[in-house]
């Protein structure tokens, strides 16, 4: 992997990740851009104890442009985009309309391929490995920023999810706090550790799932299963067999095997609802241990957390979506219409040949 860092016309950082070492990345952003101005503000909720990002400048962000005006495609002739060069393998750049910025963290866009018509599932294993290496590198770099406590790599796919750019891409949020979801997990880690005399709850969950009927696929270094308490109609958790706190701690064997396993999962997701259905909308979310202090979680260290990826869709059946209505949105109590055992069986059934 070759990494080249440069700057866009408005000062934002852009980084090329190339498969080959002989590429030269010296294209200049020729757009007449003014410096980016953001109004991100973090407000803490005194009742719930969580945080909300207020980012009014995002109202003006690019919204469903035609394919020939896609800002994530390479620049070509006089059609100038966020990527100055005429081609790329993987590229990461600071979001022009970030939810988090400055002392409130940082937001980045990750373009998986220059092919506008592709999806992550269309990547080769070599390309998918390059994306993994980019996620890992950005996690390492962002963790050193003084305002950052947690790094979140994720992909939103599909208009139903709220994606406003059709080009295959994901994002990275670097939060200035430990996110509420992660805090809940860490509290459970602490409680279970104390109640069992030191047992790790992630290890216990993985052992239980491996012994049950919800396993979707396994390999030497990875396990994918539909969790016993799946919140979403089709939801798969992907864990490395060896517990590590973040992407940086994955060993080479797990890294090498990841592309094959993950691409297989994504391709199965596109087969869930059968022929004739649009591509399955999904969210793919990496959960990593925070880099900030863990004093509030008594007895917990970073190594107690288990890196894992959660992949889920809001489509519950052909032509129908799962909406977060009263119970989910008002009380955070999910009601799942698809039994996890049935979802796992379907994901095994649609294995690619």
Tokens standing for residue 308: 């894992």
Cα–Cα distances in Å, from 95 out to 58, 72, 315?
A: 10, 11, 28
Distance CA 46, CA 50 (A): 8
Distance CA 4, CA 17 (A): 7
Q: Identify the CA nearest to 119 among candidates 239, 236, 286, 280.
A: 280
Catalytic residues: 169
What number of residues does the chain have? 353
Distance CA 339, CA 251 (A): 34
Distance CA 209, CA 217 (A): 12
Q: In this structure, are residues 17 and 3 in contact, taking their beta carbons and an 8 Å threshold?
A: yes
| E strand residue ranges, 166-261 | 169-175, 215-218, 222-225, 234-240
Cα–Cα distances in Å, from 85 out to 16, 80, 88?
A: 10, 9, 7
Q: In this structure, are residues 172 and 134 in contact, taking their beta carbons and an 8 Å threshold?
A: no
């Amino acid at each position: 992997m070759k990494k080249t860092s440069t700057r866009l016309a408005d000062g934002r950082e852009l980084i090329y990740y190339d498969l080959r070492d002989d590429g030269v990345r010296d294209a200049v952003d020729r757009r007449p851009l003014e410096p980016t101005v953001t109004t991100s503000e973090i407000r803490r909720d005194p009742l719930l104890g969580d945080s909300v990002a207020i980012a009014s400048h995002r109202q003006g962000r690019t919204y469903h442009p035609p394919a020939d005006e896609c800002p994530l495609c390479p620049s070509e002739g006089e059609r100038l985009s966020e990527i100055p060069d005429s081609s790329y393998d993987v590229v990461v750049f600071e979001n022009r309309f970030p939810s988090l910025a400055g002392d409130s963290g940082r937001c980045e866009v990750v373009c998986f391929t220059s092919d506008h018509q592709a999806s992550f599932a269309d990547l080769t294993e070599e390309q998918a490995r390059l994306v993994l290496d980019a996620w890992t590198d950005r996690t390492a770099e962002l963790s050193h920023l003084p305002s950052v406590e947690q790094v979140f790599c994720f992909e939103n796919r599909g208009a139903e999810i709220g994606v406003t750019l059709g080009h295959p891409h994901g994002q990275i949020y670097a939060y200035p706090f430990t996110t509420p979801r992660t805090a809940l997990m860490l509290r459970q880690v602490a409680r279970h550790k104390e109640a069992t005399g030191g047992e790790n709850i992630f290890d216990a969950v993985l052992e239980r799932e491996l012994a049950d009927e919800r396993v979707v696929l396994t390999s030497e270094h990875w396990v994918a299963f539909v969790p016993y308490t799946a919140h979403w109609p089709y939801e798969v958790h992907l864990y490395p067999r060896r517990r590590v706190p973040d992407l940086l701690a994955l060993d080479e064997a797990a890294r090498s095997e990841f592309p094959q396993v993950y691409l297989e999962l994504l391709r199965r997701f596109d087969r869930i609802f059968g022929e004739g259905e649009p591509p399955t909308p999904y969210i793919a979310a990496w959960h990593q241990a925070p880099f900030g202090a863990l004093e509030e979680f008594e007895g917990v260290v970073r190594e107690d957390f288990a890196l894992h990826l959660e992949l889920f869709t809001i489509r519950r059946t052909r032509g129908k979506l799962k909406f977060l209505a009263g119970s989910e949105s008002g009380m955070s109590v999910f009601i799942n219409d698809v039994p996890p055992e049935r979802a796992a069986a379907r994901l095994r059934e649609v294995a690619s040949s």
